[in-house]
């Protein structure tokens, strides 16, 4: 099978054996576990895209007890054969929530409340994410508050549907939002804004005011304990760079606001999520050192709640300028524009294939602080793998199987979810 995607990787030009761990010395198939789902396999493929800068042709991946134990080149007998393998996709901007009920809206500033308490691990959306190749995701509080709380990074499957089995990391950052969503629905028909659903902020000006008030109150509380408030310790962590500020800002004016607040409060680590209209502010973004989670690329260019426009050459341009970015699909309104399609769109916009693969695997894993366990195909990492019918991310290829923590969630031998 001709895999045109291979030609974009210079690392494949040398016919060098790439082997991590020990290759199987016999053609024996992996053994079945006595209890629970099977988590040990040997999978062979025409091409293995490791997300480490290397593509292995005619290779294999060996999995034992849910971890990758060997990756190498060589024609051996395995449990099954596929055209291509990539790491499990990492979604840094998931839309998996249980709706407005998942967010505490008693206050417009709740930086200390974790979204972990409001997740429904039995939702069918996890299976949908998993069947689309997403094995790891960061779920943030719904953007109903200016400072919404603490996101969590977790697996979309594998093991039991419990926080103990699924969560990879808490304390990833603090979620904020500069768009229209925090003020949406807050204005009453008559009179002043008050109560849970009728309150300030009611405008973008009010959203920025709530953010600035919270941070100035925290600075004041550091000098005088009499002015402390609930959640102030979490704000301290943002100011000290211990937690990144993950702020949603899609239109140009919201991106400008986010960059201005970073400078005003000297916030060391800022990630702009849903970033769409970044090209007009390219110089400011480069100078600020922020990282980006780009909004989903759509066919008409409009994306997100504020209908911000993003051109398909945006990822390529950010790569040229050295900006750290991840692609996202979870915030797309259209389920047909999932994360697995985003690298293909970005490549059509000029992004190199290796950068496109990295932007949905190792780069978001590194952003979320879980790259020691997921994001690439290497010995010792979790066996999170996506199996393809052809070259990954091409419009003529499709996902045939998904493995998470060594368990086959979508079996490539049958093309069905287990």
Q: What whole-number distance in Å separates Cα of residue 150 and Cα of residue 119? A: 12
- Same domain? For 362 and 400 the reply is no
- Same domain? For 84 and 110 the reply is no
297: DSSP letter: P
- Same domain? For 252 and 349 the reply is yes
- Same domain? For 186 and 228 the reply is yes
pLDDT at 24 over 90: no
Inter-residue contact 343 to 349 (CB < 8 Å): no
**Digit-coded pLDDT (tens) for 216-241:** 999 999 999 889 998 999 999 999 99
Q: What whole-number distance in Å separates Cα of residue 417 and Cα of residue 144? A: 34
The reported pLDDT for the residue numbered 332 is: 45
Q: How many CB atoms lie within 10 A of CB 256?
A: 16
The reported pLDDT for the residue numbered 124 is: 84
Q: How many CB atoms lie within 10 A of CB 263?
A: 13
The dihedral sign for the CA sequence 19, 25, 28, 31: negative
Domain C-terminal end among 325, 347, 367: 367
pLDDT at 143 over 80: no
Lowest mean pLDDT among 133-142, 261-270, 287-296: 133-142
**Digit-coded pLDDT (tens) for 154-168:** 999 998 999 999 999
CATH code (residue 385): 2.30.40.10
255 phi and psi angles, rounded to 5 deg: -65, -40
Long-range contacts of 347-353 (CB under 8 A, 24+ apart): 347/393, 348/312, 349/297, 349/311, 349/312, 349/313, 349/314, 349/315, 349/316, 350/313, 350/316, 351/315, 351/316, 351/319, 352/8, 352/316, 352/319, 353/5, 353/8, 353/9, 353/393
- Same domain? For 82 and 99 the reply is no
In 3D, which of 68, 49, 55 has the Cα closest to residue 373?
68
Look at the chain and report how many structural domains it folds into.
Answer: 2
**Digit-coded pLDDT (tens) for 274-318:** 999 999 999 999 999 999 999 999 888 887 667 899 999 999 999
The reported pLDDT for the residue numbered 7 is: 42
CATH code (residue 222): 3.20.20.140
CA 83 to chain centre: 25
Where residue 207 falls among pLDDT bands split at 50, 70, 90?
confident
- Same domain? For 73 and 164 the reply is no
pLDDT > 90: percent of the chain: 61
pLDDT at 370 over 90: yes
- Same domain? For 361 and 315 the reply is yes
* Higher-scoring residue by pLDDT: 298, 106: 298
- Same domain? For 68 and 191 the reply is no
44 bridge partner residues: 60, 81
Q: What whole-number distance in Å separates Cα of residue 410 and Cα of residue 400? A: 7
106: DSSP letter: S
Q: What whole-number distance in Å separates Cα of residue 284 and Cα of residue 52? A: 30
What 3-state class would DSSP assign to 292? strand
Q: What whole-number distance in Å separates Cα of residue 274 and Cα of residue 92? A: 10
Q: What is the mean pLDDT of the chain?
A: 84
198: DSSP letter: B
112: DSSP letter: T
- Same domain? For 133 and 191 the reply is yes
The reported pLDDT for the residue numbered 16 is: 36
* Higher-scoring residue by pLDDT: 96, 147: 147
Inter-residue contact 237 to 267 (CB < 8 Å): no
- Same domain? For 260 and 200 the reply is yes
**Digit-coded pLDDT (tens) for 68-83:** 999 999 989 999 999 9
| Alpha-helical segments (H) within 30-132 | 124-131
Report DSSP letters for 18-44, one per residue. --BS---SS-PPPPPPSSSS---EEEE
Inter-residue contact 123 to 81 (CB < 8 Å): no
Q: What whole-number distance in Å separates Cα of residue 387 and Cα of residue 45? A: 9
Q: How many CB atoms lie within 10 A of CB 301?
A: 14
- Same domain? For 120 and 106 the reply is yes
Inter-residue contact 309 to 274 (CB < 8 Å): no
- Same domain? For 319 and 411 the reply is no
Residues of the domain holding 390: 4-88+376-417
Domain C-terminal end among 350, 367, 384: 367
What's the average model confidence in pLDDT over 352-379? 98
């Amino acid at each position: 099978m001709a895999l045109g995607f291979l030609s974009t990787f210079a690392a494949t030009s040398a016919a060098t054996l790439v082997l991590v761990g020990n290759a199987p010395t016999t053609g024996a198939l992996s053994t079945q576990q006595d209890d629970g789902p099977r988590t040990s396999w040997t999978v062979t493929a025409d091409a293995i895209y490791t997300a480490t800068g290397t593509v292995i042709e005619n290779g294999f991946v060996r999995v034992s007890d849910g971890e990758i134990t060997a990756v190498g080149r060589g024609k051996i007998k395995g449990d099954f054969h596929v055209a291509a393998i990539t790491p499990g996709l990492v979604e840094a901007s998931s839309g998996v929530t249980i709706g407005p009920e998942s967010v505490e809206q008693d206050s417009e500033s709740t930086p200390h409340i974790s979204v972990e308490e409001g997740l429904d691990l039995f939702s069918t959306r996890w299976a949908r994410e998993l069947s689309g190749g997403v094995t790891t995701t960061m779920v943030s509080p719904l953007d109903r508050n200016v400072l919404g709380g603490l996101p969590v990074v977790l697996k979309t499957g594998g093991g039991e549907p419990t926080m103990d089995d699924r969560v990879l990391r808490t304390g990833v950052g603090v979620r904020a939002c500069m768009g229209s969503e925090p003020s949406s629905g807050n204005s009453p028909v008559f009179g002043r804004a008050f109560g849970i659903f009728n309150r300030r902020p009611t405008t973008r000006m009010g959203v920025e005011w709530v953010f600035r008030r919270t941070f100035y109150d925290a600075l004041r509380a550091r000098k005088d304990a009499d002015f402390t408030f609930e959640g102030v310790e979490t704000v301290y962590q943002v100011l000290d760079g211990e937690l990144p500020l993950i702020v949603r800002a899609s239109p140009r004016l919201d991106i400008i606001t986010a960059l201005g607040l970073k400078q005003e409060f000297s916030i060391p680590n800022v990630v702009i999520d849903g970033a769409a209209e970044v090209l007009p502010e390219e110089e400011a973004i480069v100078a600020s050192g922020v990282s980006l989670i780009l909004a989903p690329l759509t066919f008409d260019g409009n994306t997100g709640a504020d209908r911000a426009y993003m051109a398909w050459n945006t990822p390529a341009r950010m790569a040229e300028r050295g900006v750290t970015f991840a692609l996202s699909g979870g915030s797309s309104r259209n389920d047909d524009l999932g994360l697995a399609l985003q690298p293909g769109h970005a490549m059509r916009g000029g992004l190199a294939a290796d950068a496109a693969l990295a932007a949905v695997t190792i780069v978001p894993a590194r952003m979320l602080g879980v790259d020691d366990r997921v994001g690439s195909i290497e010995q010792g990492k979790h066996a999170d793998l996506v199996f393809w019918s052809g070259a990954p991310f091409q419009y003529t290829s499709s996902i045939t199987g998904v493995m998470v923590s060594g368990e086959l969630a979508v079996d490539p031998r049958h093309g069905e979810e287990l």
